[in-house]
């Protein structure tokens, strides 16, 4: 017996042709994937036994969209807009995505960063309805049963969080699931992966956030976080169930914290089709920005000295991707590593102190740093001056730490310093773009992690390129799903980074802008998907068919590209079959 009583029909290349609905009456209106609300035609209302259950007027999608946009505009705060769009999504998937697609540049900061951070913090108090799957110690032992009871079984991508490293705000307990919801909305907006192929999952292993534990409204598992063997046994039970239920689906790990992020990623690289966007996606998008800067500087990537200030998951992920690119461009491993420096709260990461394992790879031997004679010498400024840093990347979450003195020091090492304050949300950015422009007389090449308004400098307005992972993960996910890749390779993220740089216009290059505008998200994502799919075919790691259905590409890149194009879903109502 089918659980959902509706079935989507596909064409030869994975395009969604229509939907067969076996439900009738109010049951039709309960499923947001198929509900059209007032857009159900008179004929559909009769056929589906909806007559009398809706007001008489039939609206078009365009009319519904206009009304919804009017409602959004009347909301006073971004969190209110977020709640409205999420509530709309819970009723009518197509209409919610039509609202977002009407102005992706405007709505992306509302459905994702920075507003999603507030949504996580207020999750329990603003809860409206169930979304996705919540695993906790009380149900993890029958995880397979839970997964098989989920409404949609044709899953291509799951975004999974343990809720510990949410953006720049840390442990949010059960409140981290809006991150998964937001990421999956971007998979749909960017790569056109239909919502019914997406699954948000929270691994609620408790929380060490005392405010949440003491909150009478808190909805999560009210215990301290599982640690050590208990934690990893929990993860193993989830992975075993997920792989059994969705053996060809992609699992994206999201907002795990520091060492845990690397441990989980590395443990399941070969056991599960998976990657960690905070590590690999962040590394890829940062690499794209740096590659764009080299186009503008007309300089070699291998001539740069890189400093990553903030040695968390994102920072080390960036260092990893820079190392891969340096070696792909001809350097040996030692020479590549010599050009990459990482800093944490204690200064430059060195091998003579006790380190978390994920930091060890990029730790410097003290004897290679003759200027580092005492702990007082171990400062951000001294590293920049003594190692001649030309690319400064911020992932520390320390607002304002890129001071005028710091930025000026980088400018003394190169004519066009690359300054990338990437910390989210906006309040945690290492420096404001307008200040960086002023301190460097407009010579700096700047991109940020959060959205910023254009900067007016010397009578000209400059758009600030946003180094947003949304340029990476949707396309990577689509490329994996469409190709049927059986594992996720590092080369996927290199290919994605190079693809992005091709969408920067000559006008933007002339103005020193490092990223295309967000309204090109779909075009960028499709090109990323094609590049990733091609790499999967080249590496011979494909199942020769789409990951969640039987659309065969037969290792033919041209046919794969057609699948990528055709299977992209747009927010339009489907015909009843």
Angle, CA of 557, 559 and 562, to the nearest 5°: 110
- Domains recognised in the chain with CATH numbers: 60-255 (3.40.50.10380), 281-467 (3.40.50.720), 471-566 (3.40.50.10380)
Q: What is the C-alpha separation between 321 and 171, in angstroms, rounded?
A: 26
Q: Which of 484, 471, 465, 569 is nearest to 525 (CA)?
A: 471
Residue 333, judged by CB atoms within 10 A of its CB (0-12, 13-18, 19+), counts as exposed
Question: What is the CA 22 to chain-centroid distance, rounded?
Answer: 35
Q: How far apart are CA 395 and CA 522, in angstroms?
A: 27
Distance CA 434, CA 273 (A): 41
What span, in angstroms and rounded, lies between the C-alpha atoms of 273 and 541? Answer: 11
Known catalytic residue: 428?
no
Helix, strand or coil, per DSSP, at residue 472:
coil
What is the pLDDT at residue 4? 62
**SS3 state of residue 217:** coil
Q: Using CA atoms, how far apart are residues 492 and 474, in angstroms rounded to an integer?
A: 12
Residues 275 and 277: their CA atoms lie apart, in Å, by: 6
Dist CA 219 CA 232 (whole Å): 23
Query: Token pair for residue 459?
Result: 């009578």
Closest to 176 in 3D by CA, of 139, 219, 213: 219
Q: Model pTM?
A: 0.94
Pairing of the two strands 460-462 and 465-466? unpaired
**Per-residue pLDDT of the chain in tens (577 residues, 90 and over written 9):** 345 688 999 988 888 999 999 999 999 999 999 999 999 999 999 999 999 999 999 999 999 999 999 999 999 999 999 999 999 999 999 999 999 999 999 999 999 988 998 999 999 998 888 889 999 999 999 999 999 999 888 899 999 999 998 877 889 999 999 999 999 999 999 999 999 999 999 999 999 999 999 999 999 999 999 999 999 999 999 999 999 999 999 999 999 988 899 999 999 999 999 999 999 999 999 999 999 999 999 999 999 999 999 998 899 999 999 999 999 999 999 999 999 999 998 999 999 989 999 999 999 999 999 999 988 999 999 999 999 999 999 999 899 999 999 999 999 999 999 999 999 778 889 999 999 999 999 999 999 998 899 999 888 888 999 999 999 999 999 999 999 999 999 999 999 999 999 999 999 999 999 999 999 999 999 999 999 999 999 999 998 888 877 788 889 999 999 999 999 999 999 998 8
Rounded to an integer, what distance in angstroms lies between the CA atom of residue 19 and that of residue 303? 55
Would you give the DSSP letter of residue 173? G
Residue 306's beta-bridge partner residues? Answer: 340, 391
Q: Which run of H or of E encompasses 336?
A: helix 333-338
Out of 81, 183, 258, 428, the active site residue is: 183
Concatenated DSSP letters of 17-37? EEEEE---THHHHH-TTT--G
Long-range (24+ apart) CB contacts under 8 A made by 263-267 are 263/232, 263/357, 263/358, 264/235
Instruction: Please identify which of the residues 112, 123, 218, 358 carries the catalytic annotation.
Output: 112
| Residue 437 a catalytic site member | no
φ, ψ of residue 530 to 5 degrees: the values are -65, -40
- List of residues 6+ apart from 262 with CB closer than 8 A: 276, 279, 313, 316, 357, 358
């Amino acid at each position: 017996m089918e659980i959902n009583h509706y079935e989507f029909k596909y064409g030869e290349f994975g395009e969604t042709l229509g939907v067969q609905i076996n439900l009738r009456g109010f049951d039709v209106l309960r499923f947001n994937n198929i509900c059209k609300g007032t857009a159900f035609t008179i004929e559909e209302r009769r056929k589906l036994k909806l007559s009398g259950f809706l007001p008489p007027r039939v609206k078009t999608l365009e009319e519904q969209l206009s009304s919804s946009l009017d409602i959004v505009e009347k909301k006073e705060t971004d969190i209110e807009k977020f709640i409205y769009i999420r509530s709309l999504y819970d009723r009518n998937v197509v209409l919610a995505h039509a609202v977002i697609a009407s102005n992706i540049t405007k709505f992306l900061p509302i459905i994702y960063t920075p507003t999603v951070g507030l949504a996580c913090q207020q999750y329990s108090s603003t809860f409206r309805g169930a979304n996705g799957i919540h695993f906790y110690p009380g149900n993890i032992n029958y995880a397979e049963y839970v997964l098989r009871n989920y409404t949609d079984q044709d899953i291509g991508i799951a975004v999974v969080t343990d809720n510990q490293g949410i953006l720049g705000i840390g442990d949010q307990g059960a409140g981290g699931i809006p991150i998964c919801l937001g990421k999956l909305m971007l998979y749909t907006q960017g790569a056109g992966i239909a919502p019914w192929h997406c699954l948000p999952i929270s691994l609620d292993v408790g929380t060490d956030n005392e405010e949440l534990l003491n909150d009478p409204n808190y909805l999560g598992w009210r215990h301290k976080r599982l640690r050590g063997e208990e934690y990893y046994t929990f993860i193993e039970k989830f992975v075993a169930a997920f792989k059994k239920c969705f053996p060809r689906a992609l699992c994206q790990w999201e907002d795990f914290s520091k060492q845990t992020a690397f441990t989980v990623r590395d443990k399941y690289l070969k056991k599960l089709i998976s990657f960690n966007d905070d590590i690999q996606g962040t590394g890829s998008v940062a690499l794209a920005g740096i590659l764009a800067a080299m186009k503008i500087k007309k300089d070699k990537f291998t001539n740069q000295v890189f400093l990553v200030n903030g040695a968390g998951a994102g920072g080390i992920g960036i260092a990893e991707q820079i190392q891969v690119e340096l070696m792909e461009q001809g350097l040996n491993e030692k020479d590549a590593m010599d050009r990459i420096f990482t800093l944490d709260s204690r200064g430059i990461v060195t091998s003579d102190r006790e380190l978390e394992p994920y930091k060890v790879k990029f730790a410097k031997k003290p004897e290679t740093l003759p200027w580092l004679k005492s702990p007082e010498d171990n400062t951000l400024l001294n590293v920049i001056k003594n190692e001649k840093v030309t690319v400064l990347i911020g992932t520390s979450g320390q607002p304002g730490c890129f001071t005028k003195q710091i930025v000026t020091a980088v400018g003394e090492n190169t004519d066009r310093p690359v300054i990338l304050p990437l910390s989210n949300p906006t309040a945690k950015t290492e420096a404001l773009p307008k200040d960086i422009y002023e301190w460097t007389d407009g010579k700096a090449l700047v991109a940020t992690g959060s959205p910023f308004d254009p900067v007016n400098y010397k009578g000209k307005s400059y758009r600030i390129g946003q180094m947003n992972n949304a340029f990476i993960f949707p396309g990577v996910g689509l490329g994996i799903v469409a190709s049927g890749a059986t594992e996720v390779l590092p080369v996927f993220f290199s290919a994605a980074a190079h693809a992005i740089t091709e969408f920067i216009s000559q006008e933007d290059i002339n103005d020193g802008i490092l990223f295309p505008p967000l309204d090109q998200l779909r075009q960028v994502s499709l090109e990323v998907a094609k590049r990733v799919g091609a790499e999967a075919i080249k590496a011979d790691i494909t199942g020769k068919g789409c990951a969640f259905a039987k659309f065969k590409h037969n290792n033919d890149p041209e046919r794969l590209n057609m699948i990528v194009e055709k299977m992209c879903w747009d927010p339009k109502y489907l015909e009843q079959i």
